[in-house]
Chains A and B, each alone.
Chain A
Amino acid sequence: MMEKQAVSWVVERHEEIEALINRYPERRSAVLPLLHLAQEARGYLATEDVEAVAELVGMTPSEVTGIVSFYSLLHRQPRGRYTLTLCQNLPCVLAGAEALAQHLRQRLGIAPGETTPDGLLTLEETHECLAACDGAPVVQVNLEYATHMTPEKVDRLLEALRAASQEAAAPDGEEDDAGGL
């Protein structure tokens, strides 16, 4: 048996994967969609996910590694249940995004890129404008927008997320995209 033990999402979402690949004239094009899918399943991309995606699209694990590390939304390390991303581009900075970042770092006791010890939150600060500058400063919670943020609103958001995660103390389910907002 040359094949490794199949990764669970490859087995469970087999049909979806085939459909994704078939959307494109060349298999390689499915690499980002498959990485999104794998990351959705596990919360991050483990080495075996990288290998599985490589196999599916006919690349080497190295090629997929080079791709994963190019994109800021793809992660090779485990993440918190929620990722809070603060925009730090100019319109948001003009609206106080740096003070907000400071506030969050203190509140959570972690630096950008880190996850709270309870595994609930990962903090990210992005220099890429989140394209919601009319609502500056902007935060994304698992890619859902929260606009016109202030320290007070951020605190309330944190509470809501904590509450939501306790409620959802159900069995290990899928990652909740909605972020409980």
Chain B
Amino acid sequence: MSGERVSLTIDGRAVQVPPGTLVLDAARQAGVEIPVFCSHDQLDPVAVCRICLVEVEGSRKLVPACSERVREGMVVRTDTPQVAEARKSVLEFLLINHPLDCPVCDKGGECDLQDLTYQYGPALSRLADAKMRKPKAVDLGPFIVLDEERCILCRRCTRFDHQVAQERTLVVGQRAHEALITTAEGVPYASVFSGNTIELCPVGALTSKFYRFRARPWDLVRVDEICHGCPVGCHIQLHFRANVEGARLERVVSRPFEPIDDGWLCDRGRFNYGFVQSPERIAQPLVRPLGAPRGTLVPTSWEEAFRRVVGRLQEVLATQGPQGVGFIGGGRLTNEEAYLLQRLARQVVGTENVDHRVAGEAAASLDVAPGRITDLDRAAVILVVGAHPGQSAPVVDLRIRRAAARQGALLLTLGPVDPELRVPHQFLPAAPGHLADRLEALAQSLAGGGEGVPPRVAQELHEREGLLVALWDGREAAAGRALAAFLQTWQAQGREARLLVVGDQANSRGAEAAGLRPDLLPGYRLAADPEARRQAGLAPEPAAPGLSTQAMLEHAVAGRLGFLYLVGANLVETFPDRALATAALESEAFVVVQDLFLTETARLADVVLPAAPFTARAGHLTNLEGRVQATGPRSTDPAAGLPVEAWTDGQIFEHLGEALQGRPLVAGAGELATALAAAGLGSGTFAGALPVALLHEASDGSPTPSGSGEGLVAAPLPTIHGGGGTSRFDRAYGERRPLAAVVYLNPEDAQRWGVVPGDRVGLEAGDGVVEAEVQVTRRVMAGVLGVPRGVPGLAWNRLTGAGRVRVRGRLLEEVG
């Protein structure tokens, strides 16, 4: 099949293409450009706009190149007067009702209708009648405004919503010349992929509420970037516009990269950028005045701030030794910065107390069956373990939807809460702490046994030939081990398996690979391995075994860790045991926080160092499949944002290193690059992965509910628009994506506790009561309380930290 070729000629040029190729694509290959509106590489052809009509020898009528497949010996002409006339005619039709507001249209300058009219269109309008009126400025969804008059009904947006997102919310309504794009009454187009329709729209019908009237395309400076929203690492482009205050980031667009994003972005990646230039960003270093209670912070100079940090660090080193110092965070750093941070800890301070895991995860990768995102395209079975890809790896979720809905992949989900998937799937409930049991049963079912696996699932798993792709959230260590065993059983049956671990933060995997773990040096070398330590320039024996995040917090509370350095880590909001995190921050330990915003955690610090946003830094990120991707501006690119006194995280580390040891952390960029390459993080390569043996039991904060009997076990749910970080401080974005403090109950439990949907209830955590509204859904298994993470006003980690949660029943009005 691969060698088969069809020969045809297009405007006299001979081409050979694979059978089934569209004439449009064959023409492109022959260097003949055919105009299109409705056609799009990622969408099924509909051939409705009719701009692509061409002549095919032997055909009475003109033929749409976007839907016609090549035939052997076909003779296609696009350069005839008839084709030119047809194009002109279609443009004339499209323009008769199209408003002539190009000068104020956001799309002006990058509009296909404008461009093609210029190239092929009629010079004058022959319309003597009034144009059709249709609704303008329709509020379509949180981020999108629709001008129906500009719409040319190419249906790209609706096809995207049906075929790619599989959501079927955006539809064509009415018919004939009254046709328009719409949704059901009272239903906003609130897909987390809504922004893609703006880019798909060949005219200015769908526009961004943020970008509206903000810039003209020719005024924009464009910078290639990698999205920092999550570990998928979609390729994006940042569009800046210079003004008196500097360069403003005006929008984010896609930069299609087939192996990862196919040109799609989620709305977080596309619209959560305003924080970069938020007036709420910390403008200069802050310190807690000596003797003032925690929570009091006053501005200071960088010198003073550094003096305090270095001074205190040296004191603690003198009194408690390196074991008294800990560094937490880094999942949002570049690979380079993560490397520098661990180097600062290990080499300068001499401690192994470093960890990037701020949210209770066990691993960001696993060295069994390493997978790629594109593996999903050919998956026969997709097994989602604990993960909620729609929330924490949205663009990967698009591939899952496609595989399940259009390629017939069997989709299984396993965990306490069935992730919100838009496509048919089978949910295998597994209580928190018991995912491993369920996976073991699944593995046994492959061998013909397996109690408790639904027979239909067992049979399908038995029969499906081909590739199984598993997605795991990297949380329960035991689940990770069981999953590894399951995948090995699958492979032992002669079938392919792949694993993707969805890390908690954009660069969790890079942080892990760079050695931001107490047990690992860069490049997944064991921290206890004398040879590895020697090569890294460290003493053969660590002064003491490194502490994990949880252990560091416990040591701080116990007074054994006097210096805690947090980098982009809002532990109060992200760590599964809020009480512990808060206790550590309120302990005697000296707390330094490096962040963009005054987070719940930063407020409690002794010193706060303002960090620059991602737009200011260069380096590499490692996505969830291990792909090392260059990110960040080059020296020629504009800096973004308000005049804020911020250093990049890396610059801060370098400065501290220099201040502490009197010489640079690394000799120069060359040494840094070499070190990263040696750690398996060379640009353009794929990183290594965590050995299964390093999956530790009771790794930090995994909720292991204590006690039994009455009460629910809280299961944290990632939320795309929530989180501990920047989205909390992006006001415009947050307003359009308001997050409700809602928890989820199974109908059975709702009945047991006597609550109905919409009730506000009190949830008894160990340390008091958490209030929330209840929603009831079968997505949550019985006995489990689904608690979204990162919703302002909902202290989810008081519930996960608490063991079993009792529902106190409806709260009376006076509470609210």
- A and B in contact, CB less than 8 Å: yes
Interface contact B756-A70, CB-CB below 8 Å: no
Q: How far is the CB of B177 from chain A (nearest CB, A)?
A: 13
Which of B115-123, B182-190, B511-519, B634-642 is found at the contact surface with chain A? B182-190
Q: How far is the CB of A165 from chain B (nearest CB, A)?
A: 30
Binary CB contact string for chain B from 173 to 196 against chain A (1 if under 8 A, 0 otherwise): 111000000111111000000000
Q: How far is the CB of A68 from chain B (nearest CB, A)?
A: 9
**Which B residues between 493 and 523 are near A, CB-CB below 8 angstroms?**
none
How long is the Cα–Cα vector from A66 to B175 in the complex, in angstroms? 9
Interface contact A62-B184, CB-CB below 8 Å: yes
Interface contact B168-A63, CB-CB below 8 Å: yes
Contact partners of A54 in chain B: CB under 8 A: 184
**Does chain B have a CB within 8 A of A47?**
yes
Contact partners of B311 in chain A: CB under 8 A: none
Question: Is the contact region of chain B dominated by helix, strand, or loop, or is it mixed?
Answer: loop
**Does chain A have a CB within 8 A of B172?**
yes
**Does chain A have a CB within 8 A of B682?**
no
Chain A positions within 8 Å of B, measured between CB atoms, are 1-2, 47, 50-51, 54, 59-66, 69-70, 76
Q: How far is the CB of A144 from chain B (nearest CB, A)?
A: 26
Q: How far is the CB of A102 from chain B (nearest CB, A)?
A: 24
- Are A1 and B747 CB-contacts (below 8 A) given A62-B171, A65-B173? yes
Q: How far is the CB of A64 from chain B (nearest CB, A)?
A: 7
Contact partners of B750 in chain A: CB under 8 A: 1
Given A61-B185, A70-B175, 17 extra CB contacts under 8 A: A1-B757, A2-B757, A47-B185, A47-B186, A51-B184, A54-B184, A61-B187, A62-B184, A64-B184, A65-B173, A65-B182, A65-B185, A66-B171, A69-B173, A69-B175, A69-B182, A76-B185
Find B778's partner among A2, A60, A76 (CB 8 Å cutoff).
Answer: A2
How long is the Cα–Cα vector from A51 to B183 in the complex, in angstroms? 12
**Does chain A have a CB within 8 A of B489?**
no
How long is the Cα–Cα vector from A143 to B184 in the complex, in angstroms? 28
Interface contact B173-A66, CB-CB below 8 Å: yes
**Does chain A have a CB within 8 A of B571?**
no
Contact partners of B278 in chain A: CB under 8 A: none
Residue of B nearest to A72 (CB): B175
- Are A65 and B183 CB-contacts (below 8 A) given A1-B776, A2-B776? yes
Interface residues on B, range: 20 to 34
How long is the Cα–Cα vector from A143 to B747 in the complex, in angstroms? 46
Binary CB contact string for chain B from 765 to 794 against chain A (1 if under 8 A, 0 otherwise): 000000000001110000000000000000
Contact partners of A60 in chain B: CB under 8 A: 167-169, 184
How long is the Cα–Cα vector from A63 to B172 in the complex, in angstroms? 8
How long is the Cα–Cα vector from A88 to B745 in the complex, in angstroms? 57
Find A65's partner among B184, B747, B776 (CB 8 Å cutoff).
Answer: B184
How long is the Cα–Cα vector from A1 to B186 in the complex, in angstroms? 21
Interface contact B174-A62, CB-CB below 8 Å: no
Find A2's partner among B168, B185, B187, B777 (CB 8 Å cutoff).
Answer: B777
**Does chain A have a CB within 8 A of B234?**
no
**Does chain A have a CB within 8 A of B52?**
no
How long is the Cα–Cα vector from A69 to B169 in the complex, in angstroms? 15
Residue of B nearest to A59 (CB): B168
Contact partners of B174 in chain A: CB under 8 A: 69-70
How long is the Cα–Cα vector from A153 to B529 in the complex, in angstroms? 103
How long is the Cα–Cα vector from A69 to B185 in the complex, in angstroms? 12
Residue of A nearest to B779 (CB): A2
Contact partners of B777 in chain A: CB under 8 A: 2
Contact partners of A76 in chain B: CB under 8 A: 185
Contact partners of B173 in chain A: CB under 8 A: 65-66, 69-70
Contact partners of B170 in chain A: CB under 8 A: 62
How long is the Cα–Cα vector from A63 to B182 in the complex, in angstroms? 10
Residue of B nearest to A65 (CB): B184
Considering the complex of A and B, which 3 residue pairs feature the smallest CB-CB distances, nearest first? Answer: A61-B184, A66-B171, A62-B184
Find B756's partner among A1, A59, A61 (CB 8 Å cutoff).
Answer: A1
Interface contact B183-A62, CB-CB below 8 Å: yes
Q: List 30 A-B contacts (CB under 8 A).
A: A1-B750, A1-B757, A2-B747, A2-B757, A2-B777, A50-B184, A50-B185, A54-B184, A60-B167, A60-B169, A60-B184, A61-B184, A61-B185, A61-B187, A62-B168, A62-B169, A62-B170, A62-B183, A62-B187, A63-B168, A63-B171, A64-B184, A65-B173, A65-B182, A65-B184, A65-B185, A66-B171, A66-B172, A66-B182, A69-B182
Contact partners of A2 in chain B: CB under 8 A: 747, 757, 776-778
How long is the Cα–Cα vector from A62 to B191 in the complex, in angstroms? 13
Contact partners of B184 in chain A: CB under 8 A: 47, 50-51, 54, 60-62, 64-65
Contact partners of A59 in chain B: CB under 8 A: 168
**Which B residues between 675 and 702 are near A, CB-CB below 8 angstroms?**
none
Contact partners of B171 in chain A: CB under 8 A: 62-63, 65-66
Contact partners of B169 in chain A: CB under 8 A: 60, 62
Contact partners of B185 in chain A: CB under 8 A: 47, 50, 61, 65, 76
Q: How far is the CB of A53 from chain B (nearest CB, A)?
A: 11
Q: How far is the CB of B164 from chain A (nearest CB, A)?
A: 15
How long is the Cα–Cα vector from A76 to B174 in the complex, in angstroms? 12
How long is the Cα–Cα vector from A66 to B777 in the complex, in angstroms? 28
**Which B residues between 566 and 623 are near A, CB-CB below 8 angstroms?**
none
How long is the Cα–Cα vector from A2 to B757 in the complex, in angstroms? 8
How long is the Cα–Cα vector from A70 to B174 in the complex, in angstroms? 5
How long is the Cα–Cα vector from A2 to B746 in the complex, in angstroms? 10
**Which B residues between 252 and 307 are near A, CB-CB below 8 angstroms?**
none
Residue of B nearest to A76 (CB): B185
How long is the Cα–Cα vector from A68 to B747 in the complex, in angstroms? 34
Q: How far is the CB of A54 from chain B (nearest CB, A)?
A: 8
How long is the Cα–Cα vector from A149 to B173 in the complex, in angstroms? 34
Residue of A nearest to B178 (CB): A69
**Which B residues between 711 and 757 are near A, CB-CB below 8 angstroms?**
747, 750, 756-757
How long is the Cα–Cα vector from A47 to B184 in the complex, in angstroms? 8
Q: How far is the CB of B87 from chain A (nearest CB, A)?
A: 29
How long is the Cα–Cα vector from A58 to B365 in the complex, in angstroms? 38
How long is the Cα–Cα vector from A60 to B169 in the complex, in angstroms? 7
Q: How far is the CB of A36 from chain B (nearest CB, A)?
A: 18
Contact partners of A50 in chain B: CB under 8 A: 184-185
Contact partners of A63 in chain B: CB under 8 A: 168, 171
How long is the Cα–Cα vector from A66 to B168 in the complex, in angstroms? 11
Residue of B nearest to A61 (CB): B184
Contact partners of B172 in chain A: CB under 8 A: 66
Contact partners of B186 in chain A: CB under 8 A: 47
How long is the Cα–Cα vector from A119 to B275 in the complex, in angstroms? 55
Residue of A nearest to B173 (CB): A69
Residue of A nearest to B169 (CB): A62
Contact partners of A69 in chain B: CB under 8 A: 173-175, 182
How long is the Cα–Cα vector from A64 to B174 in the complex, in angstroms? 12
How long is the Cα–Cα vector from A6 to B175 in the complex, in angstroms? 31
How long is the Cα–Cα vector from A62 to B167 in the complex, in angstroms? 10
**Which B residues between 138 and 172 are near A, CB-CB below 8 angstroms?**
167-172
Contact partners of B756 in chain A: CB under 8 A: 1
Contact partners of B757 in chain A: CB under 8 A: 1-2
Most central of A2, A47, A59 by chain B CB within 10 Å: A2
Contact partners of A1 in chain B: CB under 8 A: 747, 750, 756-757, 776
Q: How far is the CB of B221 from chain A (nearest CB, A)?
A: 38
How long is the Cα–Cα vector from A91 to B776 in the complex, in angstroms? 59
Residue of B nearest to A71 (CB): B175
How long is the Cα–Cα vector from A1 to B777 in the complex, in angstroms? 7
Q: How far is the CB of B762 from chain A (nearest CB, A)?
A: 21
Residue of A nearest to B162 (CB): A63
Residue of A nearest to B778 (CB): A2
Contact partners of A47 in chain B: CB under 8 A: 184-186
Binary CB contact string for chain B from 534 to 575 against chain A (1 if under 8 A, 0 otherwise): 000000000000000000000000000000000000000000
Q: How far is the CB of A129 from chain B (nearest CB, A)?
A: 16
